[in-house]
Amino acid sequence: MTEPAIAAGVDAIDPAWMTAALRASGALPTGEVVALDVKPVGNGLVGDSFRLAITYDGAPASAPASVVGKFAAADPGSRATGAAFNLYGREVGFYRELAASVGIITPKTHFARIDPETSAFTLIFEDFGPARAGDQLTGCSIADARTAMLEAAALHAPRWNDPSLRDISWLTSGADMHPAIIAALPGIITAFRERYDGILEDDHMALVTRLPEIMRQFQGASDGPFTIQHGDFRLDNILFDIQGGRRRMGTLDWQTLAIGHGMTDVTYFLSAGVSPELRRAHERELVGAYHDELRRLGVNDYAADQCWTDYRRMAVHGIFMGVFSAIAVERTERGDALFLTMTRGACAQALDHDTFDIWTV
């Protein structure tokens, strides 16, 4: 059966549309969808997600009881950000072309298409519930952080230094945006300071003001190994004990996918998801667990000492993500708390490890 047209939003999905999508994916060989119960899920900032519980007539027991649908953000500002930086195209591209080639646990996809002219997209994928959702504002335990390190290695190892990644045009196009991002940073930082001066600690704000200087070097760096990089590997994009504990963790939201240094994901997760006190006590162990898993998965050309040095260097990314995201998406009360937490965690990490000094030597 032919795939249905792209649905610009969840309101465009009815039982007939879902029947066609599941039939085309092979998930519904017989029968049809007769009803959908739709509820919003997640804390997406640039996309809107919904759980769709499905009622069938004549379907086999293997047909999914529910799926998750994801669409471009309804908020115009957030949607414009997603379109301008090809965030939507990257996520659709990941599910269509790359997900099967890596070991990290991601949902099976039933439908993944985007209109490049309008940036309208539809993703329909496997429901990971029941699961324990990560929460950026409360942080996670060391046990959960260790699981995330293993999953990060499962993402990075299979495509480690794989030259064919550079042949994927939609994956490499992000580098073209680097000069524009650098040029926009002073204005973004001005807006960030106007919003959070007197709230964010002075020593942290001092690092924020230095971002344009450091990001020129950070984004231009070409040394070290490269692989598939999630780019926004943090708790709000993670579910633990998925499908009632059948699998350990699932990772979502692949809009910031890029070719880059894998340690960026590791450093960012630990700054954003673990309190500074816990991070300081356990980061050597956690980075070591990531490195050990890389080796177990066949990466034998990356020394432990270099892994730790790269961990110290990559804290720049977490500061940038906190600052840039705060200004680029719709402002909400939770968003303010989220971006301050992310920025504080990354700044504390950078100060602990003299990250900016490493880049300016």
What are the structural domain ranges in the chain?
10-126, 133-360
Percent of the chain with pLDDT over 90: 79
- Tokens linked to 26: 């092979």
Q: What is the pLDDT of residue 85?
A: 78
Q: What is the pLDDT of residue 175?
A: 65
Q: What is the pLDDT of residue 6?
A: 95
Q: What is the pLDDT of residue 1?
A: 62
pTM attached to this predicted model:
0.92
Q: Which class does domain 10-126 fall in?
A: alpha beta
Percent of the chain with pLDDT over 70: 97
- Tokens linked to 81: 């950000």
Which residues on adjacent β-strands are paired with residue 259? 228
Nearest to 270 by CA among 171, 170, 146, 161: 146
Average pLDDT over residues 124-149: 95
Could you give phi then psi for residue 75, rounded to 5 degrees? -65, 125
Q: What is the pLDDT of residue 300?
A: 95
The mean predicted confidence, pLDDT, of the chain is 93
Q: What is the pLDDT of residue 180?
A: 80
CATH number, domain 133-360: 3.90.1200
